[in-house]
Amino acid sequence: METPATPSATLVHTPASRPGWGIFWMLLTGLCFVAVTATVKMVGTDVPAIQSGFLRYALGLVFLIPMLPSVRRANVDRSLLGIFLGRGAAHALAVSLWFFAMTRIPIADVTALNYLNPVYVILLAVLFLGERLGRYRVAAVVIAFVGTFVIIRPGFREIDLGHVTMLVTAVAMAVSYFLAKLASGRVSAEVVVFYLSLVVPIILAPLAWYVWVPVTWSDVGWLFLCAFFATLGHYMMTLAFRAAPLAVTQPVSFLQLVWATALGVFVFGEPADIYVIAGGGMIIASVSFITWRETALARRHRKEAALAGDGVE
């Protein structure tokens, strides 16, 4: 669930690039999201996935209090509110599916499949923003999906329901991050995180009530830590989006696969699967190429526009 995604480099222009801070915030984002993975793994199957997702956000509401001044000052019009509501719905679905997948498949598998998010965001940009799907984009998307097949290996091993769930999770999370990137160019990071953290538990509440089971104080403690690290991670990710271009911050986010694999091996005793690492590497290479090329194209277009402007008398 908590893997930084890469919306198309042309979606939002970063007005003032601060690459050092962008790398710093994205590094902390990855560490926070790995901590989220660890806390969810500790809860395991003790609590239904939907209830876990609800508690993660409900317990995290306390972290929204310091954001209230920024929210009051923000100019949230109807279109922006629609973005927040749409993102909350997509994120609520992704959260529930992600919690379920975490109980079924290794951490490395979950993390590697999550890197499909940027690929789906590119496709969303093509469908809804009219962006062009050229041959390089097509090739990168194909390589990413080949990497997915390497991870899952249909026909060579039994496909767990958790893998299928993660494929749907990646789509829902891509929608969430696509909308987050659009919103981050209009309001502050606090406002983006506040509305996400408010809408998701409202949507999940009736579903959680339907499957509710008693929880232990231990489970509550782990889910509170999950809420803390996830809220902090989303805030830092938004700061990274605002601080530097995606070509700068995206490579840092891929360290999360390394950390997640190490966490699974050394803490939870999960075997290091060479196919998962290889498939994840293919997806990472694909996303890196997309990010680099589109950032280069955006830079070239800005330079051409500036030169054209200078030539006008």
Give pLDDT, residue 14. Answer: 43
> Which residue in this structure is represented by tokens 């920024």?
70
Nearest-angstrom CA–CA distance, 187 and 189: 7
Give pLDDT, residue 10. Answer: 41
Give pLDDT, residue 155. Answer: 67
Give pLDDT, residue 201. Answer: 94
Residue 289 lies in a domain: yes
Number of independent structural domains in the chain: 1
Give pLDDT, residue 9. Answer: 41
pTM of the prediction? Answer: 0.75
Domain residues for 223?
A: 19-310
Residue 33 lies in a domain: yes
Residue 99 lies in a domain: yes
Could you say which residues of the chain have pLDDT below 70? 1-17, 129, 131, 133, 155, 245-248, 250-252, 254, 294-295, 298, 304-313
3-state helix, strand, coil in the chain (%, to 5): 80, 0, 20
- 3-state secondary structure labels for all residues of 71-112: HHHCCCCHHHHHHHHHHHHHHHHHHHHHHHHHCCCCHHHHHH
Residue 294 lies in a domain: yes
Residue 9 lies in a domain: no
Give pLDDT, residue 88. Answer: 94
Residue 5 lies in a domain: no
| Among 167, 204, 166, 197, residue whose Cα is nearest residue 180 | 197
Nearest-angstrom CA–CA distance, 208 and 196: 18
In the three-class reduction of DSSP (H, G, I as helix; E, B as strand; rest coil), residue 273 is classed as coil
Residue 122 lies in a domain: yes
Give pLDDT, residue 16. Answer: 53
Give pLDDT, residue 218. Answer: 94
Residue 87 lies in a domain: yes
- CB-based contacts of 73, cutoff 8 Å, min separation 6: none
